[in-house]
Amino acid sequence: MKNDSLAYFDSPQKYLKFIDQLNIYNGWKINKGIMNTRGEVIRNKSYSNQLRKLFSDKKAFRREVSISEIVSWLDSFVIMTRVVNKLRDSITVEEYNKIEIHFEYIIKMSKKMRVDFVIKYKNIVLLLELRMVDNFKKIKGTWTKKKGELLIYKELMSNYLEKDIRMLTFAFISLYEYNNKKEELPHTNYNDNQINFLVEYIQKYMIIASKKL
């Protein structure tokens, strides 16, 4: 699977090192606004160029990466970094080090459909899609749409993954956390609760479940 991913990390620490090396100046916050508009301020930043190069060097895509996609990736990195750090405090070191992370995994025979993240632990994989919305009312509808997409991805991947691989899906819908540099605490709290739920999900249905297989 790692050859079909934009980036592959054989441990959470490798993922964190990748994020650190991107050197995102002043950090990155999940801000309110249209993706393209948010992207204008980082269009020529070194980390944006690094992500463009990663995308083009893979030579697995038919077009160049858009600035809105880069913004979406940066938002996803914020969430995933919190998940990885929370996992570190929730499971053993041995379990933590066995987690593999695939970023932008390309599904075979799918006309370049991609999964945001694939988390693998032993013979269990979790297909994770992330999407940011701007208010609470949009969460349910967006979750339903992303969950439907994930079920399609799961079906497509079941055609070629080993039969002993167990696949799970998780749609993570987040809210923007900042509006003109002011933190929206209800939104941040919601995201943190979702992160806690995802970590519990991984712990229960991947880490613990793997011992029963």
For position 213, what pLDDT does the model report? 72
Indicate the pLDDT class of residue 60, thresholds 50, 70 and 90: low
Domains contained in the chain, number: 1
Averaged pLDDT for residues 67-82 = 97
Specify the pTM: 0.95
Residues 6 or more apart whose CB falls under 8 angstroms from that of 208 comprise: none
Residue 36: count other Cβ atoms within 10 Å of its Cβ.
12
As given in the structure block, the two tokens for residue 46 are 């070194």
Residue type, 19: I
Averaged pLDDT for residues 186-196 = 98
Tens digit of each residue's pLDDT (9 = 90 or more) over 144-190 = 999 999 999 999 999 999 999 999 999 999 999 999 889 999 999 99
Closest CA to 19 of 63, 64, 69, 83: 83
The secondary structure of 77-129, three-state, reads HHHHHHHHHHHHCCCCHHHHHCEEEEEEEECCCCCCCEEEEEEEECCEEEEEE
CA angle at 209 for the pair 205 and 213, rounded to the nearest 5°: 140
Q: List the domain range (segments joined by +) for residue 44.
A: 2-210
Q: Is residue 59 over pLDDT 80?
A: no
